[in-house]
């Protein structure tokens, strides 16, 4: 399951690098760091399904809301929703 998440992330980021604007690049880079932390946490857990990934990412987004301005947070939140949809597909 983790390999699928990593593979989807890499494909998603490649697409953004090829055609994304500065905002998309910022959001994907920021999200990539949090996503890597969450994947490392999931490595040691039995449950690695999408709902567990989403719950852990929500904790990261909650922290991001404190770190980022409102506009930047919205970019990151939207980026997570886009990535989550690709993972779910």
Mean pLDDT for the stretch of residues 2-26: 93
Q: How far apart, in whole angstroms, are the C-alpha atoms of residue 74 and residue 80?
A: 10
* Average pLDDT score, the chain: 93
Total number of domains constituting the chain: 1
3-class SS string, 46-65: CCCCHHHHHHHHHHHHHHHH
Structural domain including 63 reads 2-88
Tell me if 38 sits within 8 A of 60, measured CB to CB. Answer: yes
State yes or no: pLDDT of 9 exceeds 90. Answer: yes
Residues 15-37: pLDDT tens digits? Answer: 999 998 999 999 999 999 999 99
């Amino acid at each position: 399951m983790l390999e699928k998440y990593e593979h989807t992330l890499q494909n998603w980021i490649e697409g953004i690098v090829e055609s994304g604007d500065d905002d998309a690049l910022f959001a994907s880079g920021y999200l990539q760091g949090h996503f890597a932390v969450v994947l490392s946490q999931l490595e040691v857990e039995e449950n690695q399904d999408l709902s567990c990934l989403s719950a852990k990412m929500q904790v990261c987004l909650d922290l991001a809301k404190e770190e980022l301005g409102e506009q930047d947070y919205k970019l990151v939140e939207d980026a997570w929703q886009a990535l989550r949809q690709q993972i779910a597909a």
